[in-house]
């Protein structure tokens, strides 16, 4: 059976499950237990997904079926689990599995963000004046002031002597950057591309300038710890934004509105995970990275461990729940 015949034969079942899921979105999740046809439709679509993967059907069809299965699993699980259990389930398995399922977009986003940053950093190392194509002299001076070796607190100047206030500031700042990167994907992905490249180039220019100015020994220990969560969160925001953009530009056999709607369901779940990562990043930045009491070597060591843990989380955790 080719893909066209497969789709024609089972399209009714898929639409039936999708309609049931849309109804369940409007009522209490416990309705998933009492709906007579929901478990049957869900099992059928799980079988169809396995067949589509085994027969190597098109990526768009597999993504559509996988989206239905993920939604169905969520409803079935929520019908018998409390909020706390569902939250643990999401972060212990569903979130990293979801990122792996969209891995192609992850690597595109990472290449744009880290590639532009490293390229700009190398350019500034070779031609120091290039930093001023991105930073004006006042901004460059502020950066140098923030990472002076004799500073009492590293990072941004604080309006008050309070790590807690800075914790809130960092959450606000980081969420703003991630939201811009994600939401601008609705501009056919162009906005996401812009913010990934812009933020990458900006970070690269700052890193290159501070290295040239001799502030590397304070700058890199500062960023390495919280950067494991903050920088990867920006990449994930780019991944979600690109998914929205591709859904708009290449809807396949769906209408553009339906294509974006299906993509948004997945992206919203990614955004939940991004939010948690940014809270962790803000906590580390306010209470750990900014400290001048902790030796730089310790910060480097802890930062390396955090990067390894984040990498392990997205590569290995939740393997039985996704790709």
Q: Is the pLDDT reported for residue 265 higher than 80?
A: yes
The whole-angstrom separation of Cα 316 and Cα 167 is: 30
Dump pLDDT digits (tens) for 302-318. Answer: 999 999 999 999 999 98
> Nearest to residue 224, comparing CAs of 149, 166, 286, 306?
306
How many domains does the structure of the chain reveal?
2
Helix axis angle, 190-212 to 103-126, nearest 10°: 40
25-82 pLDDT, tens per residue? 665 444 444 455 777 888 889 999 989 888 888 888 888 898 888 888 777 766 555 5
Same-domain pairing of 184 and 282: yes
| Among the ranges given (4-18, 100-114, 148-162), the one the predictor scored with the smallest mean pLDDT | 148-162
Residues 45, 120: one domain?
no
On whether residue 109 sits in a domain, the answer given is yes
The pLDDT assigned to 33 comes to 46
Residue 8 has pLDDT above 90, yes or no: no
Residue 194 maps to a domain: yes
pLDDT of residue 82: 59
55 and 134 in a common domain: no
Statement to judge: residues 121 and 208 lie in one domain: yes
Residues 119, 204, single domain; the answer is yes
Cα 269 off chain centre by: 10
Same domain, 173 and 313: yes
- Domain identity same for 151 and 10: no
Residues 107 and 245 in one domain: yes
Q: Which domain holds residue 241?
A: 103-321
Q: What is the pLDDT of residues 85-139, one digit of tens each?
A: 778 888 998 899 999 988 999 999 999 999 999 999 999 999 999 999 999 999 9
pLDDT at 239 over 90: yes
Instruction: Specify the pLDDT at position 78.
Output: 63
- Answer with the one of 80, 112, 133 that is the final residue of a domain: 80
Co-location of 313 and 273 in the same domain:
yes
Task: Give the whole-number percent of the chain exceeding pLDDT 90.
Answer: 52
Burial zone of 81 (CB within 10 Å; 0-12 exposed, 13-18 middle, 19+ buried)? middle
Let me know whether 50 and 9 are in one domain.
yes
Q: Which residues of 246-285 are buried (b: 16+ CB within 10 A; e: fewer)?
A: bbbeebeebeeeebbebbbebbebbbebbbebbbbbbbbb
Of residues 141 and 150, more confidence is placed in 141
């Amino acid at each position: 059976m080719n893909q066209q015949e497969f789709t024609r034969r089972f399209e009714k079942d898929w639409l039936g499950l999708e309609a049931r899921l849309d109804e369940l979105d409007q009522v209490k999740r416990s309705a998933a237990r009492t709906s007579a046809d929901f478990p049957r439709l869900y099992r059928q679509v799980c079988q169809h997904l396995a067949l589509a993967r085994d027969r190597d059907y098109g990526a768009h069809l597999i993504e559509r079926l996988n989206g239905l299965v993920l939604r169905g699993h969520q409803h079935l699980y929520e019908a018998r689990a409390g909020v706390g259990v569902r939250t643990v389930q999401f972060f212990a398995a569903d979130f990293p599995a979801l990122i792996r399922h969209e891995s192609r977009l992850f690597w595109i986003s990472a290449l744009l963000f880290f590639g532009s940053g490293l390229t700009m950093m190398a350019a500034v190392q070779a031609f120091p004046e290039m930093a001023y194509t991105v930073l004006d002299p006042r901004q460059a001076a502020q950066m140098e002031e923030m990472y002076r070796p004799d500073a009492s607190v590293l990072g941004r100047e604080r309006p008050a002597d309070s790590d807690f206030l800075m914790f809130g500031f960092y959450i606000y700042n980081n969420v703003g950057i991630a939201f811009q990167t994600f939401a601008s994907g609705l501009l056919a992905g162009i906005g996401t591309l812009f913010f990934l490249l812009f933020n990458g180039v900006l970070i690269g220019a700052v890193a290159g300038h501070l290295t040239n100015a001799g502030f590397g020994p304070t700058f890199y220990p500062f960023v390495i710890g919280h950067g494991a969560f903050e920088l990867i969160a920006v990449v994930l925001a780019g991944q979600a934004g690109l998914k929205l953009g591709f859904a708009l530009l290449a809807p396949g056999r769906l209408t553009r509105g339906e294509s974006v709607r299906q993509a948004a369901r997945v992206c919203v779940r990614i955004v939940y995970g991004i939010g948690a990562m940014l809270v962790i990043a803000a906590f580390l930045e306010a209470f750990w990275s900014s400290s001048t009491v902790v030796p730089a070597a310790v910060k480097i060591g802890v930062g390396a461990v955090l990067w390894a843990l984040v990498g392990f989380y997205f590569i290995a955790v939740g393997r039985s729940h996704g790709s």
